[in-house]
């Protein structure tokens, strides 16, 4: 279900990047902050990156973040992630991909419905994430996933033979043990999603790197040297 997908989003390191887009209204404080990454009108500031990295570090073992090389690798990974997200957001605008308020409210309600009273808000407080920032970050994540779906997932073909092969390799013994002779329709749909996701993962990096050639992405190298040297 869709809510399970976005529960994963909540816990993984992608949570860190919500600050990148949480303040895109162009407030006085952001205008005074020097840019770090720029793609057209979309800007990630130095403060955006630093705040995001503080959260991203929580996804790594504490000992790893004591090693300078490991910290730099994590910083490079976050930098690349932010660049990809800017590209996907730009592409979403070009494709006219949007999410209505009603649809978004339904997704948020489904996510929050998985948690007892006040637990969801307490988790946000634990990560020091304002609720409105989480909402904006979630909306960004949805738009990005829809771009990937339209550009890649919807173009991936899954054949009946591939589904049957995956079923034989991963599920047949369990089905036979339960007395089922044929593949359940629900399982077939699940396998199709799994196969599609794997195929998308294989072509994603080639696709996103090609997409980078279509945009002018500015990196503030002076600020980058300060970040990785700090």
Domain assignment of residue 194, yes or no: no
* Euclidean distance between CA atoms 163 and 118, whole angstroms: 42
Number of Cβ atoms within 10 Å of the Cβ of 192: 17
Domain assignment of residue 182, yes or no: no
* Euclidean distance between CA atoms 10 and 17, whole angstroms: 11
Domain assignment of residue 171, yes or no: no
Domain count of the fold of the chain: 1
Number of residues assigned to the chain? 230
Token pair belonging to 155: 């173009």
Per the structure, the complete domain to which residue 218 belongs is given by 2-154+205-229
Domain assignment of residue 106, yes or no: yes
pLDDT at 8 over 70: no
pLDDT digits (tens, 9 = 90+) for 9-68: 443 334 444 444 544 434 444 444 788 999 999 999 998 898 888 878 877 888 888 999
Looking only at the bridges linking them, the beta strands covering 35-39 and 42-45 are: antiparallel
pLDDT of 173: 64
pLDDT digits (tens, 9 = 90+) for 76-117: 999 998 999 899 999 999 999 999 999 999 988 988 888 888
Domain assignment of residue 24, yes or no: yes
Long-range contacts of 167-171 (CB under 8 A, 24+ apart): 167/191
* Euclidean distance between CA atoms 61 and 71, whole angstroms: 11
Domain assignment of residue 178, yes or no: no
CATH number at residue 120: 1.10.4030.10
Domain assignment of residue 88, yes or no: yes
> Residue 35: helix, strand or coil by DSSP?
strand
- The 3-state secondary structure of 41-85 reads CEEEEHHHHHHHHHHHHHHCCCCHHHCHHHHHHHHHHHHHHHHHH
Domain assignment of residue 174, yes or no: no
What is the value of pTM for the model shown? 0.77
């Amino acid at each position: 279900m869709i809510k399970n997908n976005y529960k994963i989003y909540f816990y993984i390191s992608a949570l860190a990047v919500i600050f990148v887009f949480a303040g895109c209204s162009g407030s006085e404080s952001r205008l005074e902050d020097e840019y770090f990454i720029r793609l057209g009108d979309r800007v990630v500031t130095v403060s955006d990156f630093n705040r995001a990295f503080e959260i991203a570090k929580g996804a790594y073992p504490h000992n790893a973040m004591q090693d300078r090389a490991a910290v730099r690798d994590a910083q490079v990974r976050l930098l690349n992630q932010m660049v990809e997200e800017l590209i996907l957001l730009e592409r979403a605008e070009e494709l006219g991909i949007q999410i209505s308020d009603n649809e978004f409210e339904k997704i948020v309600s489904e996510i929050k419905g998985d948690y007892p009273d006040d637990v969801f808000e307490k988790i946000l407080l634990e990560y020091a994430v304002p609720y409105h920032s989480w909402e904006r970050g979630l909306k960004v994540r949805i738009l990005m996933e829809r771009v990937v779906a339209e550009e890649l997932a919807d173009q991936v073909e899954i054949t009946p033979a591939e589904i049957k092969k995956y079923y034989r390799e991963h599920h047949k013994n369990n089905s036979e043990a339960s007395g089922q002779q044929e593949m359940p329709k629900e399982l077939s749909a699940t396998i199709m999603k799994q196969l599609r996701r794997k195929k998308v993962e294989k072509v994603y990096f080639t696709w996103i790197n090609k997409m980078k050639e279509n945009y002018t992405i500015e990196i503030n190298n002076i600020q980058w040297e300060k970040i990785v040297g700090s």
